[in-house]
């Protein structure tokens, strides 16, 4: 069956591709990165086939009806920018751990892809974590960066260790000692 009218990705093609890998007829890449090997490839395919409008790679609707829709090209571009924020502004490197304590906002997925792209370990946490939960995760993981929303920042800030390289806030508000993702993007 086609997906959103797109006949490039059919179930039989996926099964066929998987079987060819299983039978060693296709080479597996030595290093696989979902962001570059899948998302960027879909963006390239959509550019090549200009006869159809781009399908959304990401479509988020808030409980108030706000929509955020990103094509594969937009998600790729935004995730590259977010990866640059993490590596340059936040001073993180491949293998560093990033704890995100966020509600399910578009930036949650954007930062997830950005971490994949940059080789960082994304550790998702929900907005329901207690101060004790956050403290434990930070200590056990030796996270170098924490990302949270402007509304959750006061609770998160109460348990932050001094070993963090950076603190990133997602939202419109600025906060002393925190980098603002929207401003940096």
CATH code (residue 100):
3.40.50.980
Total domains, the chain: 1
In the prediction, which pLDDT does 44 show?
84
pLDDT tops 90 at residue 25: no
Show the beta-strand stretches assigned E in the chain: 56-61, 67-71, 97-101, 121-125, 145-149, 166-170, 179-180
Does residue 32 sit within a domain? no
Does residue 141 sit within a domain? yes
**Are the beta carbons of 141 and 99 closer than 8 angstroms?**
yes
Does residue 177 sit within a domain? yes
**Are the beta carbons of 78 and 110 closer than 8 angstroms?**
yes
Does residue 28 sit within a domain? no
If one compares 9 and 152, the residue with the highest pLDDT of the two is: 152
| Residue partners of 132: CB distance under 8 A and separation at least 6 | 159
Does residue 88 sit within a domain? yes
pLDDT-above-70 percentage for the chain: 81
Does residue 121 sit within a domain? yes
Domain that holds residue 177: 59-183
In the prediction, which pLDDT does 172 show?
86
Does residue 102 sit within a domain? yes
Measure Cα distances from 69 to 46, 58, 121, 148 in Å.
16, 6, 25, 22
In the prediction, which pLDDT does 1 show?
38
**Separation between Cα atoms, residue 175 and residue 118, nearest integer Å:** 26
Does residue 51 sit within a domain? no
| Residue partners of 114: CB distance under 8 A and separation at least 6 | 35, 79, 80, 82, 83, 85, 86, 120
Query: Which residue shows structure tokens 């348990």?
Result: 159
**Separation between Cα atoms, residue 172 and residue 59, nearest integer Å:** 21
Looking at every residue in the chain, the average pLDDT score rounds to 85
In the prediction, which pLDDT does 42 show?
84
In the prediction, which pLDDT does 18 show?
60
pLDDT tops 90 at residue 111: yes
Burial of 157 (C-beta count, 10 Å sphere; 0-12/13-18/19+): middle
**Separation between Cα atoms, residue 76 and residue 16, nearest integer Å:** 27
Beta bridge partners, 97, equal 121
In the prediction, which pLDDT does 2 show?
42
């Amino acid at each position: 069956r086609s997906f959103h009218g797109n006949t490039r990705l059919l179930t039989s093609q996926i099964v066929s591709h998987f079987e060819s890998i299983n039978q060693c007829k296709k080479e597996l890449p030595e290093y696989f990165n979902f962001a570059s090997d899948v998302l960027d490839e879909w963006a390239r395919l959509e550019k090549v086939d200009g006869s159809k409008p781009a399908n959304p790679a990401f479509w988020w609707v808030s409980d108030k009806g706000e929509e955020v829709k990103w094509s594969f090209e937009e998600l790729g571009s935004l995730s590259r920018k977010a990866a640059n924020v993490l590596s340059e502004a936040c001073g993180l490197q491949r293998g560093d751990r990033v704890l995100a304590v966020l509600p399910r906002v578009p930036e949650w997925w954007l930062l997830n892809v950005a971490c994949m792209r940059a080789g960082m370990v994304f550790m998702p946490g929900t907005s329901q974590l207690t101060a004790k939960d956050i403290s434990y995760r930070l200590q056990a993981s030796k996270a170098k960066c924490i990302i949270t929303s402007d509304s959750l920042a006061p609770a998160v800030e109460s348990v932050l260790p001094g070993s963090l390289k950076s603190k990133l806030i997602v939202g419109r508000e600025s906060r002393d000692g925190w980098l603002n993702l929207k401003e940096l993007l």
